[in-house]
């Protein structure tokens, strides 16, 4: 599966995208990414074991808010995009 990073999230990963072995749920994937990228990445992604309000995650272009959140099931060919929340006017 492909994981794409956007905006300042790239500062924590050092890359725009990676291919990663299949994970069954989004939570499993995010925990694997936290192991790979360390505490700074984890602190941006999670807040008290829940997804941070500062992060938007899309699976194949669909916001996980409209899927099953962290329990969203993943397929090997899925594309996951991780964005910071952007504010402005």
Q: Look at 53-57, 73-77, 84-88 and tell me which has the smallest mean pLDDT.
A: 84-88
Q: Is residue 89 part of a domain?
A: no
In-domain check, residue 7: yes
Q: What is the CATH number of the domain that holds 10?
A: 3.10.20.30
pLDDT tens for 18-66 read 999 999 999 999 999 999 999 999 999 999 889 999 999 999 999 999 9
SS3 26: helix
Domain of residue 80: give its range. 2-84
> What's the total number of domains in the chain?
1
Q: For the chain, how many residues are written?
A: 89
The pLDDT, as a whole number, for residue 88 is 58
Max distance between CA atoms of the chain, in angstroms, equals: 39
């Amino acid at each position: 599966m492909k994981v794409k990073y956007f905006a300042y999230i790239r500062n924590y990963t050092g890359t725009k995208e990676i291919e990663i072995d299949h994970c069954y749920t989004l939570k499993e994937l995010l925990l694997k990414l936290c192991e790979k990228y360390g505490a700074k990445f984890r602190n941006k992604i999670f807040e008290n074991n829940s997804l941070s309000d500062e992060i938007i995650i899309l699976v194949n272009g669909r916001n996980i808010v409209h899927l099953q959140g962290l329990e969203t099931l993943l397929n090997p060919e899925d594309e996951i995009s991780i964005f910071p929340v952007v504010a402005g006017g």
